[in-house]
């Protein structure tokens, strides 16, 4: 199996280049990634935002039951929402989930640290449910060892869910907010 | 404006005890006596102790060096840190200024210093007391190639660099309090390091390392709430060159940053441990979720502090205020 972090790295590399399709094979697993706007055929692709990347993991018949890449491990940074899709038997169900998830972006923590919703204890939170955000909107701070990381929304939309509590310790990749994309 | 005020300060400092007339200053700087007077007034307003006596002129009562990019860079041994530098007379916060410059593309090593901060930043919205000429208020822009999750240990690395530089230049045996405060032998805090990061998901755009180091000032010159907890390297006005300190800090920082980038935290962890005054002590840890008391036992490879809590549990601490010897 490919690790979620590896898939994420490949997607990011693709986003930065003009490559529209990529197939990698490793230890019996094959991963094919295709930029959504490059195909325009499958329904899942049309539901995804234009810059999204679609990933499909093809499992060899002999391997253990396949898990859609999008739901294993920490969620992918939603700059490139990962729509997990399993080809073959049972693929239809996974695909419909992927469509529903496509308009939601999950903001995750890029490091272990303390999650703060406001710049100071007595200040107003950066965002609340219903707040409109753009790519550069600061949504929270994650602090570790007096390093303050102001997390940007990295997408346009509306905050629909706050997934961590103020002052809570968050892990690498832990979901912090969900954003309904414009 | 700022440059002219810097030159006024420089001229007054060089004059020592001698008064310098407004006319002399004006001629030297190519401005009118009235303009000189206006600059002097704003310098006084900024906290500089300038004496003005009718028919004699102006005299600076504080004898510390005036910081200038030329003086600092003249003795700088670094390859990139401090090669681009802004030395300001007054700024709200060197971190904020450096952050904004980095967003506009300031390169790795770009350094901001100010004689005075009006809104120096501390942790979680707190202020850093930074009156003119008494300390080193400095922010350095770094653009490391490693991912975000490796950035926090950089702040422990910076504590090692600054501690080494302070010990070498001043001989004051400062110690590190987790994660990166520097303390005088009597336990007063003399330096704080607050860093800010800009990232695109897991990729670092830049880090601003903010260092506040108190060099001059008796305890009574600090605000009442800081008098028992804050201190300076030279409270009695001992001769310390801030310029030499800055040069040494940048040199140590550049070397240790290269070590961290190439070999990770483990070589620096040993040095951090040798300089630390936290481990083995009874502490209270104040986090935003509550207070924990116990014994500071060790730091791990990520720089987290492991506390043996009074419940018997070992707890890793990532971000908190640490209080020594709680009652």
Of the candidates B154, B196, B319, the beta carbon closest to that of A113 is on B319
Q: Which of B318, B320, B321, B322 best probes binding to A when mutated, by most A CB atoms within 10 angstroms?
A: B318
CB B93 within 8 A of CB B119: yes
Q: Give the span between the Cα atoms of B317 and A67, in whole angstroms.
A: 35
pLDDT single digits (tens) B203-259:
999 999 999 999 988 877 888 888 888 999 998 877 889 999 999 999 999 999 999
Domain ranges of chain A: 4-58, 102-181
Joined tokens for residue B218:
């008796």
**B contact residues 125-164, partner A, Cβ 8 Å cutoff:** 125-126, 147-149, 151-156
- Per-residue confidence band for B61, with pLDDT thresholds at 50, 70 and 90: confident
**pLDDT, mean of residues B312-324:** 92
Please determine, for residue A15, whether its predicted confidence score (pLDDT) is greater than 90.
no
Please determine, for residue A61, whether its predicted confidence score (pLDDT) is greater than 70.
no
Query: What's the pLDDT at B281?
Result: 96
Q: What is the CATH code for B282-324?
A: 2.30.30.100
- Residues of A in Cβ contact (< 8 Å) with B207: 147
Of the candidates B124, B201, B303, the beta carbon closest to that of A77 is on B201
Of the candidates A119, A145, A169, the beta carbon closest to that of B152 is on A145
CB A74 within 8 A of CB A108: yes
Domain ranges of chain B: 3-60, 69-275, 282-324
Query: What's the pLDDT at A85?
Result: 35
Residue B311 CB: number of other CB atoms within 10 A? 10
Query: What's the pLDDT at A66?
Result: 39
Percent of chain B surpassing pLDDT 70: 98
Residue B55 CB: number of other CB atoms within 10 A? 6
**pLDDT, mean of residues B69-84:** 94
Helix axes B152-170, B242-263, angle to 10 degrees: 140
Query: What's the pLDDT at A152?
Result: 93
Q: Which of A37-41, A127-131, B202-206 has the weakest average pLDDT?
A: A37-41
Q: Where are the beta strands (DSSP E) in B143-288?
A: 175-177, 181-183, 189-200, 203-214, 282-287
Q: Give the span between the Cα atoms of B139 and B179, in whole angstroms.
A: 18
Query: What's the pLDDT at A13?
Result: 66
Query: What's the pLDDT at B144?
Result: 97
Query: What's the pLDDT at B5?
Result: 85
DSSP tag of B93: -
Q: How far is the alpha carbon of B146 from chain A, nearest alpha carbon, in Å?
A: 13
CB B148 within 8 A of CB B117: no
Scanning every residue of chain A, which has its alpha carbon at the shortest distance from the alpha carbon of B320?
A: A145
* pTM, rounded to two decimals: 0.74
- Residues of A in Cβ contact (< 8 Å) with B146: none
Q: Looking at the complex, does the CB of residue B285 fall below 8 Å from at least one CB of chain A?
A: no
| CATH 1.10.10.10 fits domain B3-60 | yes
Antiparallel, parallel or unpaired: β B111-117 and B85-91? parallel
Residues in chain B: 327
- Per-residue confidence band for A16, with pLDDT thresholds at 50, 70 and 90: low
- Per-residue confidence band for A26, with pLDDT thresholds at 50, 70 and 90: low
- Per-residue confidence band for B173, with pLDDT thresholds at 50, 70 and 90: very high
Of the candidates B147, B195, B304, the beta carbon closest to that of A147 is on B195
Please determine, for residue A181, whether its predicted confidence score (pLDDT) is greater than 80.
yes
Query: What's the pLDDT at B174?
Result: 98
Contacts of B299 (CB under 8 A, 6+ apart): B156, B178, B269, B272, B273, B276, B279, B305, B306
Contact B195 A167 (CB under 8 A): no
Residues on A contacting B at a C-beta cutoff of 8 Å: 12, 77, 79, 110-114, 116, 119-123, 143-152, 154, 166-169, 172
- CATH class of segment(s) B69-275: alpha beta
Mean pLDDT of chain A: 69
CATH T-level fold of A102-181: OB fold (Dihydrolipoamide Acetyltransferase, E2P) (2.40.50)
Q: Which residue has the higher pLDDT, A70 or A155?
A: A155
- Count contacts between A and B (CB, < 8 Å): 94
Helix axes B22-29, B2-15, angle to 10 degrees: 130
Query: What's the pLDDT at B101?
Result: 98
Q: Looking at the complex, does the CB of residue B197 fall below 8 Å from at least one CB of chain A?
A: yes
- With a threshold of 0.95, tell me whether the complex ipTM lies above it: no
Q: How far is the alpha carbon of A114 from chain B, nearest alpha carbon, in Å?
A: 6
Q: Which residue has the higher pLDDT, A102 or A79?
A: A102
Q: Give the span between the Cα atoms of A137 and A159, in whole angstroms.
A: 11
Q: Which of A119-128, B42-51, B317-326 has the weakest average pLDDT?
A: B42-51
């Amino acid at each position: 199996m490919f690790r979620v972090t590896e898939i994420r790295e490949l997607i990011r590399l693709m986003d930065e280049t003009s490559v529209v399709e990529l197939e990698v094979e490793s230890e019996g697993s094959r991963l094919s990634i295709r930029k959504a706007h490059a195909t325009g055929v499958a329904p899942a692709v049309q539901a995804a935002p234009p810059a999204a990347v679609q990933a499909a993991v093809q499992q060899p018949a002999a391997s253990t039951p396949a898990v859609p890449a999008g739901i294993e491990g920490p969620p992918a940074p939603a700059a490139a929402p990962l729509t997990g899709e399993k080809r073959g038997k049972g693929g239809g169900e996974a695909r419909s989930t992927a469509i529903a998830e496509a308009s939601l972006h999950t903001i995750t923590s890029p490091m272990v640290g303390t999650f703060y919703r406001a710049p100071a204890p007595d200040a107003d939170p950066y965002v609340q449910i219903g707040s409109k955000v753009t790519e550069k909107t600061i949504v929270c701070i994650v602090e570790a060892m007096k390093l303050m990381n102001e997390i940007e929304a990295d997408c346009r939309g509306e905050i629909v869910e706050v997934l961590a509590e103020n002052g809570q310790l968050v892990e690498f990749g832990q979901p912090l907010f969900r954003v309904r994309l414009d | 404006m700022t440059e002219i005020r810097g030159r006024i300060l420089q001229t007054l400092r060089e004059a020592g005890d001698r008064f310098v007339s407004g006319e002399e200053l004006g001629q030297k700087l190519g401005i009118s006596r009235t303009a000189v007077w206006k600059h002097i007034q704003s310098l006084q307003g900024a906290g500089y102790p300038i004496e003005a006596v009718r028919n004699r002129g102006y005299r600076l009562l504080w004898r510390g060096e005036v910081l200038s990019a030329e003086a600092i860079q003249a003795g700088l041994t670094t390859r990139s840190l401090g090669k681009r530098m802004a030395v300001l007379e007054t700024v709200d916060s060197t971190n904020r200024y450096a952050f904004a410059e980095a967003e506009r593309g300031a390169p790795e090593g770009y350094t901001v210093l100010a004689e005075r901060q009006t809104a120096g930043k501390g942790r979680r919205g707190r202020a850093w007391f930074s009156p003119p000429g008494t300390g080193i208020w400095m922010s350095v822009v770094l653009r490391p190639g490693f991912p975000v999750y490796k950035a926090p240990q950089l702040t422990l690395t910076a504590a090692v660099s600054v501690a080494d530089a302070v010990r070498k230049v001043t001989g004051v045996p400062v110690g590190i309090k987790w994660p990166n405060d520097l303390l005088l032998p009597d336990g007063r805090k003399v330096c704080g390091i607050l860093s800010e990061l800009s990232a695109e998901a897991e990729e670092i755009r830049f880090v601003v390392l903010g260092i506040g180091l108190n060099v001059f000032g008796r305890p009574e010159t600090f605000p009442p709430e800081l008098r028992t907890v804050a201190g300076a390297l030279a409270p009695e006005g001992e001769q310390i060159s801030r310029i030499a300190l800055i040069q040494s800090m940048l040199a140590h920082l550049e070397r240790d940053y290269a070590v961290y980038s190439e070999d990770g935290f483990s070589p620096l962890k040993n040095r951090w441990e040798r300089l630390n005054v936290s481990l083995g002590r009874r502490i209270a840890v104040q986090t935003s979720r509550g207070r924990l008391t116990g014994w500071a036992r060790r730091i791990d490879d990520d720089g987290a502090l492991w506390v043996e809590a009074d419940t018997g549990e070992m707890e890793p601490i990532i971000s908190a205020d640490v209080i020594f010897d709680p009652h």
